[in-house]
């Protein structure tokens, strides 16, 4: 077990997701000195933070954040093992890599935590799914406090992690596709492309903000907008016919969930 407060974090890999998390932490007032960034492909991190090309040979880190590609785990893990001791919690962003696999790769680590945020972490608005092994109650509280500035951290069972990855991790890409489709549809029907894109984006931003604050469910809000025989109802009838949208989204989430599970098998 570990009772660390995660004041010193080694970040291995500094791509889009890790960069968004660092940006969110810095925006929340975290001391930049708290982070040691390593990425052989980059020289400068968020807000000009320096990035090392190689791992430090020694170091007393409370936390190590794995933020490289899952396919690199077998090659990279042995180089990290000497730094992952009993006082270190290893946080993993590696999609599909299970706690059991992390345990095999980092047997000396004090605790292991799977983390699934999304790019809205930079704005402090990401859902952050967490699943852990080895943390005591105080450690869980410390981990939740660590990720709170990035959005809404929530502990879930690992058996649901593939689906949560599809929903909360991959979900923004699906929403962006829908925004793009709204703009493209309006353009096809005659609206200026720039105006269509701006209106679609502003509409989705406002709708999401209202849904987040409303006492009503999104489904109820949709029905509240659509009066019988009206303009909105005509459009909703297309999405609702044969549960077209619901079934399409279910297929989308299933494909992403199943790929996450497949990646778990590949990483074992």
* CA 14-17-20 angle, 5° bins: 90
Q: How far apart are CA 136 and CA 79, in angstroms?
A: 27
**pLDDT 10s per residue in the chain (268 long)?**
444 679 999 999 999 999 999 999 999 999 999 999 999 999 899 999 999 999 998 878 999 999 999 999 999 999 999 999 988 999 999 998 999 999 999 999 999 999 999 999 999 999 999 999 999 999 999 999 999 999 999 999 999 999 999 999 999 999 999 999 999 999 999 999 999 999 999 999 999 999 999 999 999 999 999 999 999 999 999 999 999 999 999 999 999 999 999 988 887 7
Residue 163 lies in a domain: no
Where among 133, 157, 181 does a domain terminate? 157
- Indicate whether 147 and 48 sit together in one domain: yes
Domain containing residue 100: CATH number: 3.40.50.720
- Indicate whether 93 and 119 sit together in one domain: yes
Provide the 3-class DSSP secondary structure of residue 35. strand
Domain containing residue 215: CATH number: 1.10.3730.10
- Indicate whether 148 and 180 sit together in one domain: no
- Indicate whether 243 and 212 sit together in one domain: yes
């Amino acid at each position: 077990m570990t009772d660390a407060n995660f004041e010193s974090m080694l970040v291995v890999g500094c791509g889009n997701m890790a960069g968004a998390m660092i940006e969110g932490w810095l925006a929340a007032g975290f001391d930049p000195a708290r982070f040691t960034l390593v990425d052989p492909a980059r020289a400068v991190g968020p807000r000009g933070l320096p990035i090392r090309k190689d791992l430090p040979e020694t170091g007393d880190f409370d936390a190590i954040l794995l933020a490289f590609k899952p396919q690199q785990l077998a090659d990279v893990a042995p180089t990290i093992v000497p730094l992952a001791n009993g006082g270190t919690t290893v946080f993993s962003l590696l999609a599909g890599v299970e706690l059991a696999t992390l345990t095999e790769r980092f047997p000396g680590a004090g605790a292991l935590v799977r983390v699934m945020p999304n790019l809205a972490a930079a704005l402090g608005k990401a859902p952050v799914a967490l699943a852990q092994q080895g943390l005591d109650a105080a450690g869980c509280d410390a981990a939740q406090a660590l990720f709170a500035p990035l959005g809404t951290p929530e502990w879930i069972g690992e058996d649901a992690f593939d689906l949560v990855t599809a929903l909360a991790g991959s979900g923004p890409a699906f929403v962006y596709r829908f925004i793009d489709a709204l703009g493209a549809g309006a353009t096809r029907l005659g609206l200026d492309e720039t105006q269509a894109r701006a209106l679609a984006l502003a509409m989705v931003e406002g709708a999401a903000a209202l849904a987040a604050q409303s006492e009503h469910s999104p489904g109820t809000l949709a029905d509240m907008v659509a009066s019988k025989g009206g303009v909105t109802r005509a459009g909703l009838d297309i999405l609702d016919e044969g549960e077209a949208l619901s079934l399409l989204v279910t297929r989308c989430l299933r494909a992403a969930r199943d790929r996450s599970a497949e990646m778990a098998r590949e990483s074992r």
